[in-house]
Amino acid sequence: METLLVPTDFSATALNAARYALQLAEQLQIPKIVLYHSYEIPVTIDPMVPGIQMLDLESLKEESARELENFRVSLMPHAKGISLDSFNEYGALSEGLDDVCRKVNAGMVVMGITGGGILEERFIGSNAIAVAKHTSVPVIIVPPHTSFTRIEEIMLTSDYDKADKSIPVNLVKKVVNTTGAKLFVFNIREAENDKGEHFSLHALLQDLNPSFHFSEEKNYVEAANAFATAHGVDLIITIPKKHGFFGNLFSESHTKQLAFHSKVPVMVIHE
C-alpha cells in the first residue's frame, strides 16, 4: 500500500485522526498520506430575505484549498518523512469516495468520528459511518481523543457464519502480517451449530496462529469493548454482513456504541 486517504473537515476530531494516520503510516511504512476535503454549496434560508442564498462555487473551492493547505502545514511537524499531499473537490463526502481512492491510489481511509450535536464537528461525525458502509477499501474509524498506540494486538469479530465466503481472509492476513500483531478472533456465542464454522475459520487463519475467544454476553458492543480492554487490543477489525446480525452494526445504536464508547479504533472491511 502506497497511500492513506484522510478526509477532513478541519475540526479537532479530524486533526486527531490525521495525527493517528501519520503514526499508523509510520508503522506500516506507507510513504504518503493524502488529505481530502469535499465541499458543497451550503443552502441557508434567511427569514429577512426571501428565497435561497447560495455561495459562489469558485469561492468555496478557493476557501477549501486554503483551509486544506493550512491543515496540511499544521501536520508537517508530525510527518517524520511521510509525504503529505492534498486533494479537494466538489461533492458529498459519503458518496463517491471509492473514486477518490482510485484517483489518489489510496488503499485505506482513516477518519475521525464524533458524537452528534457538536456543531463544529458535525460533518465528519455524520459521515464516518456512511463512508465505512459504502467504501470498498478498508476504513479505520478513530474514536474521539484516541491517541495512536502501535498495533500489536488485533481483534477480529466474527459470527463464523459462512466464514470461508464472508471473511476477506487475504486482507485480514495482510493486516496482521504487516503489523506483526497477535490476532484474537472473538465471538459472542458458542452454539453447537457453530462448531463446524469455527473449525472452518480456524483452518483459514491457522498460519496466523490466532487465539479464539467467546463470550456469553448478549450485548455485542459491551462484550467487544470489554474484551478489547481486557486484552489490550489496539485495533478491532469488523466485517459487516449485508444481512443478519452483523449487518446491524450499521444501525445507529450499534455503530455509535462501538465507535464512540471504545478508545480502540475500528477497521471496517467488507465481504
Using alpha carbons, select from 72, 119, 75, 127 the residue that is nearest to residue 97: 127
Once rounded to an integer, what is the mean pLDDT over residues 41-68?
A: 68
Of the candidates 229, 234, 198, 203, the one whose C-alpha atom is nearest the C-alpha of residue 214 is: 198
The three-state secondary structure class of 64 is helix
Residue 71 has pLDDT above 80, yes or no: yes
For the domain covering 153-268, report its CATH number.
3.40.50.620
Q: What is the pTM of this model?
A: 0.84
- The verdict on domain 3-142 having CATH code 3.40.50.620 is yes
Q: What is the pLDDT of residues 199-239, one digit of tens each?
A: 677 788 889 999 988 888 778 788 888 999 999 999 999 88
Helix or strand holding residue 26 (H, E): helix 12-28
Q: Which helix (H) or strand (E) holds 82?
A: none
Give dist(CA 260, CA 249) in Å, integer: 13
pLDDT at 251 (0 to 100)? 46
pLDDT, residue 120, reads 38
Q: What's the rounded Cα separation, in Å, for the pair 15 and 36?
A: 12
Cell of 153: 494486538
Domain boundaries, the chain: 3-142, 153-268
Q: Is the pLDDT of residue 161 over 80?
A: no
Q: At what angle do helices 12-28 and 122-134 cross, to 10 degrees?
A: 40
User: Could you tell me which residues are beta bridge partners of residue 148?
Assistant: none
Classify residue 12 as exposed, middle or buried by CB count within 10 Å of its CB (0-12, 13-18, 19+): middle
Is there a shared CATH topology between the 3-142 domain and the 153-268 domain?
Answer: yes
Q: Which of 56-70, 101-115, 120-134, 241-255 has the lowest mean pLDDT?
A: 241-255
Q: How far apart are CA 122 and CA 31, in angstroms?
A: 30
What average pLDDT does the segment 17-45 reach?
Answer: 87
